[in-house]
Amino acid sequence: EVQLVESGGGLVQPGGSLRLSCAASGLTFTAYWMAWVRQAPGMGLEWVANIKQDGSVIHYVDSVKGRFTISRDNAKNSLYLQMHSLRAEDTAIYYCARLYCSGGTCYGAFDVWGQGTMVTVSS
Amino acid sequence: DIQMTQSPSTLSASVGDRVAITCRASKTINILLAWYQQKPGKAPKLLIYKTSTLQSGVPSRFSGTGSGTEFTLTISSLQPDDFGTYYCQRYDTYPLIFGGGTTVEIK
């Protein structure tokens, strides 16, 4: 069974830092782009960042550029999101997600999701 | 950035009803559009990708159509398990954008 399990969320003060992790199992991790998607309380979904299989290509939403860093460790089947200079508006559930791939081509739709980890930025 | 607007924001329908949710793009996009279902407290679930391709395991009562700026998710015969919030998402270019969501309630 394909499984993504996030960890690392919690309460952090504005301006603080946090590192999220996502442990993947049941899939060939190196075959997939991976992503972080977030959802503020009571709100809709917001894509945060994507990373290519080998880490060579990365995309971010503008609101986190320069503050967040997505990375992966293929030897550990793990995805990370390092977050700095956190703001109240970063408060959200952060989901780890796998990008759908077919026939060797990966698309920007997300076919496997973790259960999410909550990040609360508040003083 | 191209914005995605969903309508209606909420809808209430009876079991067996045909239900349609619309997603409009602020500019023409290609067919790289997906639909998700999210239930309270759960992660989203991919239903449809590439506008009309049903994800494996998704019931055939779900279908997707559209082109240009207007896309539709249709549930042909609403079932009790279909409650939740539905999101469209374009993935033809970055940034990847989700629609604001449509909450479906069962009468």
pLDDT tens by residue, B63-104: 999 999 999 999 999 999 999 999 999 998 899 999 999 999
Could you tell me the pLDDT band of residue A88, with boundaries at 50, 70 and 90?
Answer: very high
Q: Say if the Cβ atoms of A100 and B100 lie within 8 Å.
A: no
Within B1-107, residue ranges assigned H as helices are: none
Q: Is A26 left (phi over 0), alpha (psi -120 to 50) or beta?
A: left
Mean pLDDT score, A23-48: 97
In chain B, the residue whose alpha carbon lies closest to the alpha carbon of A36 is B96
* Between B1 and B79, the higher pLDDT residue: B79
* Contacts with A, B 26-85, CB within 8 Å: 32, 34, 36, 38, 42-46, 49-50, 55
Mean pLDDT score, A16-43: 97
Per-residue b/e over A9-18, b at no fewer than 16 CB within 10 Å?
A: beebeeeeeb
How far apart (Å, rounded) are the C-alpha atoms in residues B34 and B27? 16
Which residues in chain A have Cβ-Cβ distances shorter than 8 Å to B91?
Answer: 107-109
The answer to whether B49 and B63 are in contact (CB under 8 A) is no
Tell me what pLDDT residue A107 has.
Answer: 82
- How far does the CA of residue B14 sit from the closest CA of chain A (Å)? 25
Name which of A6, A43, A45, A59 to mutate to probe chain B: the one with the most chain B Cβ atoms within 10 A of its Cβ: A45
Tell me what pLDDT residue B2 has.
Answer: 85
Quick check: A62 pLDDT over 80?
A: yes
Quick check: A106 pLDDT over 90?
A: no
Name which of A96, A110, A115, A118 to mutate to probe chain B: the one with the most chain B Cβ atoms within 10 A of its Cβ: A110
Q: Say if the Cβ atoms of B99 and A44 lie within 8 Å.
A: yes
How far apart (Å, rounded) are the C-alpha atoms in residues A63 and A61? 6
How far apart (Å, rounded) are the C-alpha atoms in residues A90 and A50? 17
Mean pLDDT score, A14-35: 97
The tens digit of pLDDT for each residue in B14-51 reads: 999 999 999 999 999 888 999 999 999 999 999 999 99
Instruction: Name every residue whose Cβ is closer than 8 Å to that of residue B40 and which is 6 or more positions away in sequence.
Output: B84
Chain A residues in contact with chain B using a Cβ-Cβ cutoff of 8 Å: 44-47, 50, 59, 61-62, 95, 100, 107-111, 113-116
The answer to whether B13 and B21 are in contact (CB under 8 A) is no
Quick check: A56 pLDDT over 90?
A: yes
